[in-house]
């Protein structure tokens, strides 16, 4: 795996070198969008730290959901998908390594963005500097990010079979934004849509954070999140293997 990660860091470095301008412009666009969204929503909501944390998480979610699909789509577009599959690194390890590298880059991007938003809007996020809470928040965030990447992996796996699956990612992104409790309070979501909301990993973190700030017990939702993470990881891996086998049987493995 370390060799594959080295390969992906190397490739990513050259990618950044070539497309630095595009990445910078993308970051500015996101600052404008997220800044505007935070500014408008935080005027009506009480819990500004939840909105701020939720938006930062949503930024991660966007990358997590689309990364695996983008990688597969890009490899198929260039026609290199089959070529990289015949190397010492397995397709799975290549995908995971590229996702790790993308995640590290995304983290730097999100930190820059969150930093800029913090300087501009000064949201009340002092809680994160409390040592006993910060570790817990990080663990929960890592679990949620793993869930998000698993969702992305499921979408990418389906994209292997149905090539247009990647096109639905923006819809899922906005469902995540609307129903996760970032812009609409979880408690105000209509009853019928609560199950949808519960499928979204960000919702779990929002719920846990809310309970944490209100001084309530967080054991049950944390156990739920752990179970959810394990299940979604398993499903992601299973669907990926099924999709690879299916396309290798039907002949659609490398087709764009």
Partner 1 sequence: MLLSIQKINKAFKQKNKEIQANRDISFTVSEGEILGILGPNGAGKTTLIKQITNLLIPDSGKIFFKGGDVVKYPHILRGGCSLLLEGLRNIYPYLTGETNLLYFAYLNHITPALAKERSIKLLKQMGLYEVKNKYSFEYSSGMNRKLAVATCLINEPELVILDEPTSGLDVVAVEDLISFIKELAKDKNKTFILVSHNMRFIEKVVERVIWMRNGLIWMDKKVEEIKNTLKNKEILISVRDSPDVKTFLSKNNLPFTYIGSSIIRVVLNITIHKEFLSELLSSFEVLNIEKQDSDFEFIFKELYNETYNKS
Maximum Cα–Cα distance for the chain, whole Å?
A: 56
Interaction of residue 15 with partner 1, rule CB under 8 A: yes
203 class by beta-carbon count within 10 Å (0-12 exposed, 13-18 middle, 19+ buried): buried
Residue 7 tokens, joined: 């390969």
Residue number with CB closer to partner 1 (40 or 80): 80
Q: x/- binding map, residues 60-99, to partner 1, per CB under 8 A?
A: ------------------xxx-xxxxxxxxx---x-----
170 binds partner 1 (CB under 8 A): no
Which DSSP letter does residue 84 get? H
Check: CB of residue 170 under 8 Å from CB of residue 39.
no
Q: Please say which residue, 13 or 213, places its beta carbon nearer to partner 1.
A: 13
Closest to partner 1 by CB, 138 or 162? 162
The whole-angstrom separation of Cα 13 and Cα 38 is 32
Give the whole-angstrom CA distance, residue 44 versus residue 220: 30
**Cα 234-172-146 angle, rounded to 5 deg:** 35
Least distance (Å) between residue 8 CB and partner 1: 8
Q: Which is nearer to partner 1, 81 or 151 (CB)?
A: 81
> Can you give the binding site for partner 1, defined by CB under 8 A?
3-4, 6-7, 10-11, 14-15, 18-19, 78-80, 82-90, 94, 245, 248-251, 253-254
């Amino acid at each position: 795996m370390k060799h594959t990660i080295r390969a992906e860091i190397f490739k990513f470095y050259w990618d950044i070198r070539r497309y630095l301008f595009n990445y910078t412009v993308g970051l500015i666009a996101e600052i404008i969008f997220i800044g505007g969204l935070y500014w408008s929503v935080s005027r009506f909501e009480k819990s500004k730290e939840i909105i701020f944390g939720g938006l930062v998480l949503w930024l991660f979610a966007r990358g997590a959901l689309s990364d695996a699909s983008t990688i597969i789509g890009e490899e198929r577009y260039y026609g290199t998908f089959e070529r990289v599959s015949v190397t010492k690194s397995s397709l799975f390890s290549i995908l995971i390594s590229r996702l790790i590298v993308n995640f590290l880059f995304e983290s730097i991007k999100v930190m820059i963005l969150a930093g800029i938003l913090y300087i501009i809007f000064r949201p009340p996020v002092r809680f994160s500097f409390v040592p006993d809470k910060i570790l817990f928040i990080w663990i929960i965030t890592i679990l949620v990010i793993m869930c998000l990447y698993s969702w992305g992996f499921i979408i990418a796996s389906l994209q292997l079979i149905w090539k247009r699956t990647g096109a639905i990612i923006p819809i899922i992104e906005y469902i995540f934004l609307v129903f996760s409790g970032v812009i609409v309070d979880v408690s105000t979501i209509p009853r019928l849509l609560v199950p949808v909301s519960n499928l979204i990993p960000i919702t779990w973190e929002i719920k846990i954070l809310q309970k944490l700030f209100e001084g309530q017990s967080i054991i049950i939702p944390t156990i739920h999140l752990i179970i959810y993470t394990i299940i979604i990881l398993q499903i992601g891996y299973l669907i990926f293997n099924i999709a690879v086998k299916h396309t290798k049987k039907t002949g659609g493995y490398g087709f764009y």
